[in-house]
Amino acid sequence: MSAPSGSVSVGVIDAEIRSTIATLQREVSELHRELPRNELIIWTAGNVSARVPGRELLVIKPSGVSYDDLTPESMVVTDFEGRLVEGERSPSSDTAAHAYVYKHMDHVGGVVHTHSRYATAWASIGEPIPCVLTMIADEFGGDIPVGPFALIGDDSIGRGIVETLTGSRSRAVLMRSHGPFTIGRDAKDAVKAAVMCEDVARTVFLARQLGTPLPIAQDDIDSLYARYQNVYGQA
């Protein structure tokens, strides 16, 4: 695939990382299927991206393409300024936000954005999802915070994500009047966080219909988070 006019030279993608990018394109393409499967998006909304290790590059889906039509070959590569490096389609409209996160959060290997119903409902009222469930403590280490309102199209959303999540244990942020963004050590980890964010958003909403959810003590949140992050699962 050749770079369209005005894009960065494909020469930055050398033989050393060619196979890595191909692997990430397959992974990111497959992970996009998890978004409709878990009812996190409708139509062509939402996106998954992955950092290219050791390079200021990311892999993300093209803008406005049906999920049924996504293939590894259709995944595009951009730099951390959101400029197209390789691909034949325009990158996602959220690329600048993803790129800003990678540029300023070195530990992040994957970013996901959805408009999942319940998490987005919390974002619409500008209220954090309180840590009233052990699952929230396990996965997010406390309340799921709200980020500022920002317009789509430049790195304003990315700045809000970074400002909100810096110093927080949460791997999700509810961008006000927009929807959730999640981060992870890789793209799969970020998708998992998106699935869990929507699940707890729904559960806490339902709990509020019954009464006032009971907060978990901070010491218990810390203990739950440490166990889940460091002990849970297979070695």
Nearest to 204 by CA among 106, 147, 132, 148: 132
Catalytic residue among 67, 113, 118, 143: 113
Gyration radius from the chain CA atoms: 18
Burial of 20 (0-12, 13-18, 19+ CB in 10 A): middle
| Number of continuous H segments (helices) and E segments (strands) in the chain | 8, 8
Q: How many CB atoms lie within 10 A of CB 151?
A: 8
Catalytic residue among 32, 79, 100, 178: 178
| Beta strands, E only, the chain | 47-51, 57-60, 76-79, 84-86, 110-113, 146-147, 172-175, 179-184
Give yes or no: 222 in active site.
no
Give yes or no: 115 in active site.
yes
Catalytic residue among 104, 115, 189, 222: 115
Give yes or no: 113 in active site.
yes
Whose tokens are 């403590």? That residue is 137
DSSP structure string for 159-184: HHHHHHHTT---SEEEETTTEEEEEE
Distance of alpha carbon 63 from alpha carbon 94, whole angstroms: 9
Tokens of 55: 């390079």
Catalytic residue among 138, 143, 155, 199: 138
Catalytic residues: 113, 115, 138, 178, 232
